């Protein structure tokens, strides 16, 4: 983990999941996301202690485990407040909701892992509780009520509203809950003017437009792939199989629920766009492209 100053009061701990730090005064600091596990949380505390700072609070952009994994150890050791928004609070306080939502039922034991479930922590609604110098914007799509954090140094911590190109290269079917909401968030990001933009995964950038354009291209590519697969009626499992085989991806229980849930979101989006329809044949739900 490398501490980097990018504004008068704004810092980034560069990591697999980038961590934001904002100094509200000479001593007190707010942490923006906490990484993927307790080890990440411990390292964050060590870096903060080395600067002579004190943890005032944590802000979570959203409730996925790689963003809140360090919450528990930091809250336990500092008794700090944790701020987040809307439905993300529910998933942060009751992490079993995450694999349950992804799987669509009670998750078997191998799905109850730290990749999908962080330890529970007590949270507070972010509205009206942010310190002076910080503001937030609701940016749904990747998750239910994800937020981006803006500092008064004109730095934006973007959560997973965009990912870097390298990450998408490894995971072309990056997780989405609501495709249309994600596209709307990309439109919002294009309106922003800032000094730096910090995706949670990837390099800090000064211009966000290249990333938003790239994401739109990726979403269109995935839509085209699904529509091509669905020239003939296909079940969700058959579509998923073809997607994995096309990109030579490795199937495991985590990827099955993450990509499977994302695929269902795309099917909903394409249905709403009147590009897909479905029918029930021999007790299978089969999706088929609508001929225009």
CA dihedral of residues 107, 122, 25, 43 (deg, nearest 10): -40
Q: How far is CA 106 from CA 93, 98, 109, in A?
A: 18, 11, 9
* Interval 87-106: pLDDT, tens: 999 999 999 999 999 999 99
> pLDDT value at position 169?
87
| 37 pLDDT higher than 90 | yes
Mean pLDDT confidence for 143-172: 95
> pLDDT value at position 171?
87
Sign of the Cα torsion 39, 256, 112, 120 reads positive
Which residues, including other chains, have CB under 8 Å from residue 255's CB and lie 6 or more apart? 244, 249
> pLDDT value at position 208?
96
| 269 pLDDT higher than 90 | yes
Domains with residue ranges and CATH for the chain: 2-219 (3.60.15.10), 222-289 (1.10.10.10)
State the pTM of this model: 0.96
Q: Are strands 155-157 and 10-14 parallel, antiparallel or unpaired?
A: unpaired
Mean pLDDT confidence for 151-170: 94
* Interval 170-206: pLDDT, tens: 889 999 999 999 999 999 999 999 999 999 999 999 9
Mean pLDDT confidence for 211-225: 97
> pLDDT value at position 115?
96
CA dihedral of residues 226, 229, 231, 235 (deg, nearest 10): -90
Band (pLDDT 50/70/90 cuts) for residue 239 is very high
Q: pLDDT: is 267 or 128 the higher one?
A: 267
Band (pLDDT 50/70/90 cuts) for residue 44 is very high
Confirm if 192 and 208 have CB atoms less than 8 A apart.
yes
Q: How far is CA 125 from CA 36, 172, 229, in A?
A: 22, 33, 43
Band (pLDDT 50/70/90 cuts) for residue 38 is very high
CA–CA separation, 292 vs 270, rounded Å?
A: 13
Report the chain's mean pLDDT, rounded to a whole number: 97
Q: What percent of the chain has pLDDT over 70?
A: 100
> pLDDT value at position 291?
87
Pick from 250, 252, 243, 191: nearest CA to 222: 243
| 27 pLDDT higher than 90 | yes
Confirm if 121 and 72 have CB atoms less than 8 A apart.
yes
| 86 pLDDT higher than 90 | yes
> pLDDT value at position 113?
97
Mean pLDDT confidence for 46-58: 98
Sign of the Cα torsion 110, 114, 115, 121 reads positive
| 292 pLDDT higher than 90 | no
């Amino acid at each position: 983990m490398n501490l980097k100053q990018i504004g008068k009061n704004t810092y980034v701990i560069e990591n697999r999941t980038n961590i934001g730090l904002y100094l509200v005064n000479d001593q007190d600091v707010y942490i923006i996301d906490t990484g993927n596990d307790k080890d990440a949380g411990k390292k964050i505390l060590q870096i903060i202690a080395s600067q002579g700072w004190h943890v005032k609070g944590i802000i979570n952009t959203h409730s996925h485990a790689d963003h809140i994994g360090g919450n528990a150890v930091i809250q336990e050791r500092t008794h700090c407040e944790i701020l987040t928004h809307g439905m993300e609070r529910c998933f942060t306080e009751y992490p079993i909701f995450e694999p349950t939502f992804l799987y669509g039922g009670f998750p078997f034991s191998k799905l109850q892992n730290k990749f999908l479930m962080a330890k529970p922590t007590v949270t507070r609604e972010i509205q009206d509780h942010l310190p002076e110098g910080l503001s937030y914007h609701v940016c749904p799509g990747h998750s239910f009520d994800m937020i981006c954090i803006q500092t008064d140094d004109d730095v934006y911590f973007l959560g997973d509203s965009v990912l870097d190109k390298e990450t998408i290269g490894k995971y072309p079917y990056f997780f989405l809950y609501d495709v249309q909401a994600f596209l709307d968030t990309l439109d919002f990001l294009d309106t922003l003017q800032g000094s730096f933009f910090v995706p949670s995964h990837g390099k800090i950038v000064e211009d966000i437009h290249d990333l938003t354009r790239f994401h739109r291209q990726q979403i269109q590519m995935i839509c085209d792939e699904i529509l091509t697969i669905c020239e003939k009626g296909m079940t969700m499992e058959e579509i998923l199989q073809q997607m994995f085989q096309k990109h030579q991806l490795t199937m495991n229980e985590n990827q099955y629920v993450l990509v499977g849930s994302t695929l269902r979101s795309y099917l909903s989006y394409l249905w709403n766009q009147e590009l897909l329809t479905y029918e029930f044949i021999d007790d299978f739900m089969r999706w088929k492209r609508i001929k225009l």
